[in-house]
Amino acid sequence: MAVKVKIPVPLQRLTQGKDEVEGDSGTIISLINNLEQKYPGLGERISEGGKLRRFVNVYVNEEDVRFLKNEETVVKDGDEVSIVPAIAGGN
Amino acid sequence: MGFVHGLKCRECGREYPVDAIYVCEFCFGPLEVAYDYEGIKRILTRDRITSRPQNLWRYKELLPIDGEPTSGLNSGFTPLVRADKLARVIGVKELYIKDDTVTHPTLSFKDRVVAVALSKAREFGFDTVACASTGNLAHSVSAHGAAGGFKRFIFIPASLERSKIVASLVYGPNLIAVDGNYDDVNRLCSEIANKYRWAFVNINIRPFYAEGSKTQGYEILEQLGWKAPDAVVVPSASGSLLTKIWKSFKEFKQLGLIDELNTKVFSAQATGCSPIITAIKSGVDVIKPVKPDTIAKSLAIGNPADGYYATNVVRESGGFGEDVSDPEIVDAIRLLAGTEGIFAETAGGVTLASAIKLIKEGYIKEDDLTVLCITGNGLKTKEAIMGHTGEPYHISPNMKAFEETLKKINEK
């Protein structure tokens, strides 16, 4: 069992069309860096210099990581990570 | 018609052809509609605008559709009410209410954005429209979608006021009440939008949808006699309305439809959900999300998509922002109703209460021609003021009972 990572449409071209991929346990930033190895280009779209990009929201088990420990939030096997463009919404 | 030449990333400038997309594949920045302003300038004059019917499509060259509009043909062009009585109470000389409490057909400014979103969804060939909503948008998509013959999926926080739920259900949409707050609903909808080919008005149709908010700004300028106010106070949830009102003012200036633009833009939020005001007051543009806790549910977005841009507009224009408590919101709703006869929903209370603070603090000056954007109707959120309005006088059906009561009233 690994960490489930949900990929938004704009990034699915980098994951061969997959809307969900597997990631490694550890911090969010290490998970992203590891995904970059498997899916080149994915990491730099989501993060820059070890920080999440301004327009990317990351959720762990439905909670925004900014309410947790941001990039240093630790995920374990079985957790679900969602990557969501921040620019959605408007009431 | 058709002055749109594509979509452009607001951050990195990459261009995309017009499609139901909303985010840059490279930097995740928001996509915005790019117009041919030179072409628009050649044909869009004050005379041409005023010769057209009084609805938001009188500015259609500045809206992102290719053909003729098919939705919201009676939406927009709400009154700009000169509010002299209220002005005296709050301490400015010239005050106007942009009264979107009477927007056709669902009584909030959301009818503007949905008119554009559904006209565009039809052009794209969608048969299903959807949205994540705190209420007003749910009503508007339900209603416009019914009139347009669309299938509708409406996602709301389950905790929404009962009256707002009923006011969606009456139009017969598929209403999905999600356990969680708006930000939870919105995240879920982003995931659903990945999988189903629906027109989510505030997700994949967002670049087009959001442009509809500009019409509130155009109308303010036209109704002031083709001039810009000194100050405008805008309620902020996602921050989109505020950024689009500023954009509308800049466009009219660029097109020569107004001569000068020195407007200061002010943001208003409830203290129980004020991530944008927090950023403005602390002088940063990083929005720290919050968990909303306020009666102003239509503004309860803890993770505002356009918060970053809204803070930048406030700074660029020389404005500021204020946040207000729930009791201040209720008092302001009653003040607006009692002085100007306009019953606003909680967001309107937020706007007026914030304006009062901004005037007291000197950010808005006595001589500033000020416009308050009142965006939704109070009949939608009656729960918020129940118990705060006084009670009726109960009497028996005879003159004696009435005159005794009248005596008491006159003695008050």
Q: What SS3 state is found at A26?
A: strand
Residue A42: closest C-alpha in chain B = B26
Give the pLDDT score at B25: 87
Average pLDDT over residues B83-92: 98
Mean pLDDT of B68-79: 98
Query: Tokens 């052809």 appear where?
Result: B17
**Residue B386: pLDDT over 60:** yes
d(CA B86, CA B355): 12
pLDDT for B1: 56
Residues B56-84, mean pLDDT to the nearest whole number = 98
Please state the rounded mean pLDDT for residues A45-58.
Answer: 89
3-class secondary-structure state, position B310: helix
Q: How does pLDDT run across B30-44, given as a tens digit for each residue?
A: 999 999 999 999 999
Q: Of B264, B274, B392, whose CA–CA distance to B328 is shortest?
A: B274
**3-state class (DSSP) for residue B13:** coil
Res. A90 pLDDT band, cuts 50 70 90 = low
Rounded distance between C-alpha atoms, residue B406 and residue B379, angstroms: 28
Q: Where are the domains of chain B?
A: 80-106+215-385
The predicted structure's pLDDT at residue A54:
86
Return the exposure string of B101-140: e unless at least 16 CB atoms fall within 10 Å of the residue's CB, then b: bebbbbbbbbbbbbbbbbbbbbbeebebbbbbbbbbbbbb
pLDDT of A74 above 90: yes
Give B313-332 pLDDT, tens digit per residue: 999 999 999 999 999 999 99
Q: Is the minimum CB–CB distance between A66 and chain B shorter than 8 Å?
A: yes
Distance of CA B72 to the CA centre of its chain: 16
Which of B134, B194, B148, B115 minimizes the C-alpha distance to B347? B134
Contact of A16 with chain B, judged by CB distance below 8 Å, is answered with no
Model confidence at B119: pLDDT above 60: yes
- Partners of B323 in the β-ladder: B269
Mean pLDDT of all residues in A30-36: 94
- Sheet of B264-270: strands edge to edge? B80-82, B95-99, B370-374, B231-235, B264-270, B321-324
Class of the CATH-defined domain B80-106+215-385 = alpha beta
Average pLDDT score over residue span B119-135: 96
- Asked whether residue A27 carries a pLDDT value surpassing 60, the answer given is yes
Cα A75–B293–B312 angle (5° rounding)?
A: 80
Please give the model's pTM, rounded to 2 decimal places.
0.94
- Could you tell me which residues come within 8 angstroms of residue B341 by beta carbon, excluding any fewer than 6 positions away? none
Using a CB-CB cut-off of 8 Å, the residues of chain B touching A56 are: 28
A91 pLDDT above the threshold of 80: no
Of B203, B303, B308, the CB nearest to A57: B303
- Alpha carbon distance B114, B371 (integer Å): 23
Measure the CA–CA gap between B100 and B109, rounded to whole angstroms.
Answer: 6
User: Which comes out higher in pLDDT, residue A56 or B123?
Assistant: B123
Q: How many CB atoms are closer than 10 A to CB A89?
A: 29
DSSP state of B9: E
Question: What is chain B's mean pLDDT, rounded?
Answer: 96
Residue B27 to residue A90, Cβ atoms within 8 A: no
pLDDT bracket for residue A87 (50, 70, 90)? confident
Cβ contact (<8 Å) for B189 and A88?
yes
Q: Contact at 8 Å (CB) between B155 and B189?
A: yes
- Residues contacting B115, CB < 8 A, separation 6+: B56, B57, B69, B71, B72, B73, B75, B76, B144, B212
Residue whose token pair is 């009692």: B338
pLDDT tens per residue, range B262-271 = 999 999 999 9
* Tokens (6 digits) for B403: 């005159």
In the predicted model, is pLDDT for residue B84 greater than 70? yes
Q: Which among A67, A84, A90 is the nearest to B190, CB-wise?
A: A84
User: How far is Cα B45 from Cα B175, in angstroms, rounded to an integer?
Assistant: 42
Q: What is the pLDDT of residues B163-202, one digit of tens each?
A: 889 999 999 999 999 999 888 898 899 889 988 999 999 9
Residues near B7 by beta carbon (within 8 Å), at least 6 away in sequence: B15, B16, B17, B18, B19, B21, B31, B32, B33, B34, B207
Q: What average pLDDT does this structure show over B225-240? A: 97
The structure tokens listed for B267 are 């943001």
Residue B57 pLDDT = 98
Average pLDDT over residues A37-49: 91
Question: By CA distance, what is B192's nearest residue in A?
Answer: A8
Provide the pLDDT confidence category of residue A55 given band limits of 50, 70 and 90.
confident
Shortest CA gap B27–chain A (Å): 6
Residues B366-395 have a mean pLDDT of 95
Q: Are B165 and B134 in contact (CB under 8 A)?
A: no
Q: Which residue has the tokens 């704009």?
A: A10
pLDDT given for residue B54 in this prediction: 97
Instruction: Show the domains of chain A with their CATH numbers.
Output: 3-85 (3.10.20.30)
How close, in Å, is residue A72 to chain B by CA atoms?
Answer: 16
**Residue A51 distance to chain B (closest CA, Å):** 13
DSSP sequence for B143-158: HHHHHHT-EEEEEEET
Residue among B22, B133, B183 minimizing CB distance to A87 = B22
Contact call for A45 and B25, based on CB within 8 A: yes
3-class secondary-structure state, position B1: coil
